[in-house]
């Protein structure tokens, strides 16, 4: 997985923002946060310089955005096979309920609805555990009773049949308890609610795909990436996601808009990329997917770009299946100069890495980087979205042809602006010096860490001969993110960055080290329920790194836990020694990745990335509660509206919605293309 997610609880007050207020001159009056409920907040993001695009570029962004929104149903069904039925029912009640909407129970109903919308289903988007409503089954029955029949999905039958199906799914905590269960010793397939497998076990899945692997193949396809594996009459069968296959009605709409985009492609390379994607969707052929990736990674001149398809395998407990996602964007020319400087020096960073020489690339190929402005998010990137992406994921493509890395600056900027003055850093930073460093260098250091993580971290190193890349199984995602984080953490404090002119001073690295350790050891715990361990891959990655460095640094007191006025803080006593520890751990994690050492990887993650200090956890939750903040954030998309004259698009207007509920209802009305059962 090559996607960097931001931890909202790690955001500090930032003033040095590349996507600055000079660029977004409406920052002062722009309302960044528009809603908050449960543990979630809804933000808006701006799309600076959209009006500077040519007409064809605006049309391209619009068509690609329509393709993105057309696939949104897919992620809902992938997350759980009853999610679309739940959404259809909840939306019906919201739209048609004739009872008392001022009843306090209706407010609880709306919180549940918004949580389902936010998570693309009934499981928490980050913890993967099912969340339950705060209203009763009886009240749900009353909601159904007082909503006219014709609002409900016809596939669910009568109201009585609807309740028979949905009440256990919504209210019983033991039904589909985990969207993704990677717990030790469980059958990760049968205990996960994701809709990638049916009537099969983990052993059957692993044996099925193991037979497909040819160890001599230097360009292996990503078997299983775009299909559901089912048992049919005693035989395993893949239901491929393509036109004419599973999810066809949504994919047909995606293809329709991609064909529109072909007509306004910026150049022949981009046109070829879009055509390969269309061919892939029509055929379901994974070799065609590789052709698309090769064309996409080779397109270095187009200003408008996009990601669209079955991309990341974080959602599958075994790492075979990919969730559907899309991002539409265009290049931020000025901010990209920073990323280009880093990527052009990729070989130096590879050569000077603390990793073992045999696991380094002798020749780094095709590392390209840019800073982008997002115009539309969809699928697994909406409402919660990454702040950086590095693709393609296939190791052989990355090794032989390179990769594209992007930092999503307008999303980072929105996070930064929404966090101004929220009191978070004042509560959890050890000293005023830390706060001042964060104010002065926080934003530029955060962007630099993202650049290093995406541009170089994921693209660094190489597998040993005979290693396929999937040997780490359920620990692979966590260890891959840890590898990229460690690469970035090691180099963010390197004098080379000052020499290249992309970092102002070592103090900026100090600001990032403070934030990372504070978050990994303490503040990200605000996202976890009392008594629970860490489940999400990115959180495990940050905990693994921080806890390992804390433990290994104890003999020389590299990181010190200080209790002051009954509050715990973490203080870094030696930034130089901490950087050395980052390098040592990077060396080991790269060895684990390169050799496919499953047992060593498992030991690292289970020992340092999973356990939670319960006493510290209770303290952190109590301190955080007083701030009245939400630890998770997502976004509403801008609205792109074509201006048509004499049957032709003469402009595309962009506006910024302020109502999450309205956007979700409009999306359900305009972009619901799949039946509720697939």
What does the pLDDT read at residue 170?
98
d(CA 533, CA 146): 41
Averaged pLDDT of the chain: 93
Q: What is the pTM of this model?
A: 0.83
What does the pLDDT read at residue 628?
93
d(CA 624, CA 633): 16
Spatial contact of 606 and 184, defined as CB atoms under 8 Å apart: yes
Q: Of residues 335 and 615, which shows the higher confidence score?
A: 615
Instruction: Please compute the mean of the pLDDT values over residues 306-318 and round it to a whole number.
Output: 96
- The band of 529, judged by pLDDT with boundaries at 50, 70 and 90, is confident
Comparing CA positions, the residue from 66, 524, 10, 24 lying closest to residue 256 is 66
Comparing CA positions, the residue from 489, 487, 501, 448 lying closest to residue 575 is 489
Could you tell me where the DSSP H helices lie in 308-393?
A: 333-344, 346-351
Give the start-to-end residue ranges of the domains of the chain: 3-49+332-635, 82-192
**For residue 227, is pLDDT > 90?**
yes
**For residue 393, is pLDDT > 80?**
yes
Buried/exposed code over 160-189 (b: 16+ C-beta within 10 A; e: otherwise): eebbebbeebbeeeeebebbbbbeeeeebb
Burial of 283 (0-12, 13-18, 19+ CB in 10 A): middle
| Tokens standing for residue 636 | 């509403």
Spatial contact of 379 and 325, defined as CB atoms under 8 Å apart: yes
3-class secondary structure per residue, 506-519: HHHHHHHHHHHHHH
Q: What percent of the chain has pLDDT over 70?
A: 96
Comparing CA positions, the residue from 655, 640, 527, 657 lying closest to residue 42 is 657
Spatial contact of 401 and 292, defined as CB atoms under 8 Å apart: no
**CB under 8 Å, gap of 24 or more: what pairs does 212-216 form?**
213/468, 215/466, 215/468
Q: Of residues 406 and 225, which shows the higher confidence score?
A: 225
What does the pLDDT read at residue 339?
84
What's the pLDDT tens digit per position in 394-411?
Answer: 989 988 998 898 889 899
d(CA 320, CA 58): 36
Instruction: Please compute the mean of the pLDDT values over residues 55-68 and round it to a whole number.
Output: 98
**For residue 416, is pLDDT > 90?**
no
What does the pLDDT read at residue 454?
84
Spatial contact of 492 and 445, defined as CB atoms under 8 Å apart: yes
| Tokens standing for residue 275 | 């055509």
């Amino acid at each position: 997985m090559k996607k960097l997610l931001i931890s909202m609880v790690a955001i500090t007050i930032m003033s040095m923002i590349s996507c600055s207020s000079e660029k977004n001159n409406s920052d002062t009056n722009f309302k960044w946060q528009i809603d908050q409920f449960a543990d979630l907040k809804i933000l808006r993001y701006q799309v600076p310089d959209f009006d500077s695009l040519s007409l064809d570029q605006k049309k391209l962004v619009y068509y690609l955005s329509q393709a993105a929104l057309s696939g949104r149903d897919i992620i809902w069904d992938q997350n759980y096979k009853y999610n679309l039925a739940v959404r259809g029912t909840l939306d019906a009640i919201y739209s048609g309920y004739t009872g008392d909407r001022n009843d306090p129970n209706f407010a609880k109903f709306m919180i549940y609805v918004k949580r389902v919308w936010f998570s693309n289903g009934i499981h928490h988007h980050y913890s993967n555990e099912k969340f339950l409503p705060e209203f009763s089954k009886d009240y749900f029955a009353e909601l159904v009773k007082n909503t006219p029949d014709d609002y409900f999905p016809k596939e669910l039958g009568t109201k009585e049949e609807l309740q028979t199906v949905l009440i256990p799914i919504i209210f019983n905590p033991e039904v589909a308890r985990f969207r993704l269960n990677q717990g030790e010793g469980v059958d990760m397939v049968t205990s996960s609610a994701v809709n990638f497998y049916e009537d099969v076990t983990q052993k059957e899945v692993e044996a099925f795909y193991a037979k497909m692997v040819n160890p001599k193949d230097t360009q292996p396809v990503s078997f299983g990436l775009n299909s559901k594996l089912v048992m049919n009459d005693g035989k395993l069968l893949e239901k491929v996601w393509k036109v004419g296959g599973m999810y066809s009605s949504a994919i047909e709409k995606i293809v329709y808009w991609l064909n529109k985009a072909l007509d306004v492609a910026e150049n022949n390379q981009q046109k070829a990329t879009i055509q390969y994607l269309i061919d892939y969707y029509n055929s379901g052929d994974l070799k065609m997917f590789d052709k698309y990736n090769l064309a996409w990674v080779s397109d270095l001149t187009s200003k408008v770009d996009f990601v669209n398809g079955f991309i990341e395998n974080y959602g599958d407990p075994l790492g075979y299946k990919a969730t559907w996602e899309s991002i539409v964007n265009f290049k931020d020319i000025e901010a990209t100069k920073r990323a280009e400087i880093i990527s052009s020096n990729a070989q130096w960073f590879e050569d000077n890495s603390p990793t073992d020489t045999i696991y380094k690339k002798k020749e780094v190929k095709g590392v390209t980087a840019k800073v982008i402005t997002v115009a539309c998010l969809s699928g697994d990137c909406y409402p919660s979205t990454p702040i950086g992406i590095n693709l393609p994921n296939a190791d052989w493509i990355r090794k032989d042809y390179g990769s594209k890395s992007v930092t999503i600056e307008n999303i980072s900027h929105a996070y930064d602006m929404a966090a101004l003055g929220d009191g978070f850093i004042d509560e959890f930073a050890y000293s005023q010096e830390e706060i001042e460093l964060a104010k002065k260098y926080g934003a530029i250091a955060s962007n630099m860490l993202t650049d290093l993580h995406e541009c170089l971290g994921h693209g660094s190193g190489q597998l040993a001969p005979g290693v396929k890349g999937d040997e780490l199984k359920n620990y692979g995602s966590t260890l891959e993110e840890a590898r990229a984080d460690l690469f970035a953490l090691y180099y963010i404090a390197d004098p080379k960055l000052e020499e290249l002119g992309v970092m102002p001073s070592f103090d900026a690295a100090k600001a990032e080290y403070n934030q990372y350790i504070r978050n990994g050891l303490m503040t990200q715990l605000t996202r976890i329920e009392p008594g629970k361990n860490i489940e999400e891959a990115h959180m495990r990655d940050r905990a693994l790194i921080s806890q390992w460095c804390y433990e290994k640094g104890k003999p020389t007191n590299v990181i010190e836990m200080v209790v002051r006025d009954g509050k715990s803080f973490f203080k870094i006593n030696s930034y130089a020694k901490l950087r050395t520890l980052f390098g040592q751990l990077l060396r080991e994690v790269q060895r684990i990745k390169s050799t496919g050492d499953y047992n060593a990887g498992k030991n690292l993650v289970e020992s340092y990335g999973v356990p939670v200090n319960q006493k510290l956890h209770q303290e952190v939750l109590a301190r955080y509660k007083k701030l009245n903040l939400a630890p998770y954030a997502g976004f509403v998309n801008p609205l792109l509206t074509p201006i048509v004259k004499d049957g032709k698009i003469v402009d595309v207007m962009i506006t910024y919605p302020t109502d999450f509920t309205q956007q979700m209802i409009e999306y359900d009305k305009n972009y619901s293309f799949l039946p509720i059962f697939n």
